[in-house]
């Protein structure tokens, strides 16, 4: 009977929409993924359709200078990657991923609707004359209110959708486990299909038709995303929320502090753990003891006082699994930090690359010119090309050599992306050197002067970043889901997203410092409002050097990392043995 049950039901604790054990035949796997992937594609189309050209909206409609507009965009974009911590906490602790996504979508649509009104309704649209707009404080305030409502809404979606999609595959089924690794590649592929439409069609609409239509279309598309998500409801598998992960972390810290003088036994099997198969944490498998951060093991040491108590308080005695949850998160932090500089490089596509492109020849024939922000389409095309190449060609080839199901380890995959990102900054820097020489040769120092270099010379720097994303960003998605404790997967997915937030904030900090230092004594500086008199190439060289240093630090961190060990999962241990 037990074998029959294993064939019928999933073994990872997932349930269907009614709360019953999920059946393998009727729920999850690839049958549920089209609705999740379509939802993500539409949501990303809405997000990028609004954000890709936002720096130009700030400059033209809100009358902001280049540096201020770039900083406002990176600050907002950074916030979009901080708010997932809130959504992830609610999903893991109380609401579950499905209802968190559904609830925050409503806030998202409200923000998009308000932004559409701010760019189309009389009285909310700034007055413009002579090519310059003069927004009131109230008009500017409405725009920023809309933007930060969107930032809040995306906070409940970003950390949960990828994890919710991965939940559709049972880790205890070998076939589904292999499909889960492939799912992350196609998840990122769907993101970039949405971004492709956004950076081409919607940027063109914003530039040549109007901002009202340019922001209104994303609002409609977001409504389609909601519909797609709910259509798949009967097919989804759900992980039950496991209670507050922050409370469990606090209990380990308090218990280990209270037992600071207690000796930890050399034999890890003497530490406290539940006797049955379950871990005692809803939706979480047991974790094996690891030797790192042994000071935390004190929380699982049973003292005579604990043994005499009928039910020892969790604030005094924790299970090995609970302690290993915290260890897993602590081990992730250095890997997480190494992604910040990469995210800074990635963030240049929506700021410095666009500003650089604004100075170049954007004409495509006598009657058409391409908006600088639309060049991000080549980053998207790069991802769309590289995802199937990686999934169908590179992984099988590397698997034949290494014998690992994923080909590269997740850490190796991310490291390769970090190296590739250095070359994107070198390409951007070289182009700017050529641009500045053309300016000097032709005397094009005016604010409106167009440098006689085709904007399509920016394509290599966008294409290289796209290749780096497939290795690093997709690797991060899979790594943080795989290495997170089962009951903290949304939180750890949100943690990986905060690298993008901090990358944007680091970009803002670098621009602010560079502007302050290089404009001393009345100097023009590296990034003036008129880039034809600046030195944007120096900024790209700076980022290239920082990326190289970051990769060196990453190598040290990766060699130190210890993979999570799940009890009764020998396949995990075999796959990660000597994996760094």
pLDDT exceeds cutoff 80 at 566: no
Structure tokens at 351: 């700021």
Question: For the segment 406-439, what is each residue's pLDDT rounded down to a tens digit?
Answer: 788 889 999 999 999 999 999 999 999 999 999 8
Q: What is the pTM of this model?
A: 0.78
Return the DSSP state at 232.
T
- pLDDT score, position 380: 85
**Residue 568 above 60 pLDDT?**
no
313: left (phi over 0), alpha (psi -120 to 50) or beta: beta
The mean predicted confidence, pLDDT, of the chain is 85
Where does the pLDDT of residue 2 fall: very low under 50, low under 70, confident under 90, or very high at 90 and above? very low
Residue 280: pLDDT over 80: no
Which whole number is the average pLDDT over 97-126?
A: 89
Give 36-77 pLDDT, tens digit per residue: 888 888 888 888 888 877 888 888 888 888 778 878 887 888
H helix runs in 33-157, sequence order:
33-51, 54-60, 66-80, 84-90, 96-118, 137-155
Instruction: Please count the residues of the chain.
Output: 580
Please name the residue that has the structure tokens 């005579």: 304
DSSP H helices in 484-535: 489-518
Residue 89, pLDDT above cutoff 80? yes
Give every CB contact of residue 298 below 8 A, 6+ residues apart in sequence: 255, 256, 259, 260, 262, 264
Rounded mean pLDDT, 294-298: 88
Question: Residue 569: pLDDT band by 50, 70, 90 thresholds?
Answer: low
Which domains can be identified in the chain, with CATH numbers? Answer: 1-243 (1.20.1250.20), 246-323 (no CATH)
DSSP reduced 3-state for 318: coil
- Give per-residue pLDDT as tens, 15-25: 888 888 888 88
What is the C-alpha separation between 501 and 507, in angstroms, rounded? 10
pLDDT, tens digit, 9 for 90 and up, residues 164-213: 888 888 877 777 777 887 888 888 888 888 888 887 788 778 878 888 88
How much is the pLDDT for 3? 47
Average pLDDT over residues 240-254: 86
For a pLDDT cut of 90, what percent of the chain falls above it?
21
Task: Give yes or no for a contact between 127 and 133, defined as CB atoms under 8 angstroms apart.
Answer: yes
| Number of neighbouring beta carbons within 10 Å of residue 374 | 23
Element (H, E) at 127: strand 127-129
């Amino acid at each position: 009977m037990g074998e029959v049950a294993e064939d019928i039901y999933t073994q990872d604790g997932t349930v269907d929409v009614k709360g019953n054990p999920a059946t393998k035949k009727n729920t999850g796997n690839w049958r549920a993924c089209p609705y999740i992937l379509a939802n993500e594609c539409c949501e990303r189309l809405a997000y990028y359709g609004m954000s890709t050209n936002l720096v130009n909206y700030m400059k033209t409609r809100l009358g902001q200078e280049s540096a201020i507009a770039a900083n406002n965009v990176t600050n907002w974009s950074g916030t979009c990657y901080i708010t997932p911590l809130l959504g992830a906490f609610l999903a893991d602790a109380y609401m579950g991923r499905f209802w968190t996504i559904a609830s925050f979508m409503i806030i998202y649509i409200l923000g998009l609707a308000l932004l559409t009104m701010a760019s189309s309704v009389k009285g909310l649209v700034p007055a413009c004359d002579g090519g310059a707009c003069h927004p009131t404080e109230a008009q500017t305030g409405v725009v920023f209110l809309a933007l930060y409502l969107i930032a809040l809404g995306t906070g409940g979606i970003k950390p949960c959708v990828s994890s919710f999609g991965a939940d559709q595959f049972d880790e205890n089924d070998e076939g589904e486990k292999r499909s889960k690794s492939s799912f992350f590649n196609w998840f990122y592929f769907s993101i970039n299909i949405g971004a492709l439409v956004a950076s081409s069609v919607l940027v063109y609409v914003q530039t040549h038709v109007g901002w009202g239509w340019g922001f209104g279309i994303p609002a409609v598309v977001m409504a389609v995303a909601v519909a797609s998500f709910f259509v798949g409801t009967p097919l989804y598998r759900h992980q039950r929320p496991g209670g507050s992960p922050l409370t469990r972390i606090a209990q380990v810290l308090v218990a280990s502090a209270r037992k600071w003088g207690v000796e930890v036994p050399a034999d890890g099997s003497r530490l406290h753990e539940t006797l049955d198969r379950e871990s005692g944490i809803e939706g979480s498998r047991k974790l094996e003891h690891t030797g790192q951060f042994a000071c935390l093991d004190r929380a699982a040491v049973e003292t005579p006082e604990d043994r005499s108590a009928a039910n020892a308080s969790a604030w005094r005695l924790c299970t090995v699994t609970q302690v290993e949850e915290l260890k897993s998160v602590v081990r992730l932090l250095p890997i997480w930090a190494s992604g910040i500089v990469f995210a800074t490089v990635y963030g240049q596509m929506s700021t410095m690359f666009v500003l650089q492109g604004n100075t170049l020849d954007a004409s495509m024939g006598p009657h058409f010119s391409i908006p600088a922000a639309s060049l991000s389409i080549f980053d998207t095309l790069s991802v769309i090309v590289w995802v199937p190449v990686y999934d169908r060609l590179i992984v099988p080839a590397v698997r034949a050599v290494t014998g690992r199901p994923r080909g590269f380890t997740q850490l190796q995959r991310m490291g390769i992306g970090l190296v590739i990102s250095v070359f994107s900054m070198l390409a951007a820097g070289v182009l700017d050197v050529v641009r500045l020489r053309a300016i000097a040769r032709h005397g094009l120092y005016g604010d409106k002067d167009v440098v006689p270099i085709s904007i399509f010379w920016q394509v290599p720097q966008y294409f290289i970043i796209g290749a780096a994303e497939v290795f690093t960003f997709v690797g991060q998605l899979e790594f943080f889901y795989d290495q997170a404790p089962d009951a903290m997967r949304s939180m750890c997915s949100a943690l990986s997203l905060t690298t993008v937030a901090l990358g944007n904030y680091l970009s803002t900090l670098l621009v602010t410092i560079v502007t302050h230092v290089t404009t001393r004594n009345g100097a023009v500086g590296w990034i003036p409002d008129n880039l034809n008199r600046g030195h944007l190439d120096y900024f790209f060289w700076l980022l290239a050097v920082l990326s190289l240093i970051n990769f060196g630090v990453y190598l040290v961190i990766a060699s130190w990392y210890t993979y999570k060990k799940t009890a009764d999962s020998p396949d995990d241990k075999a796959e990660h043995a000597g994996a760094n």
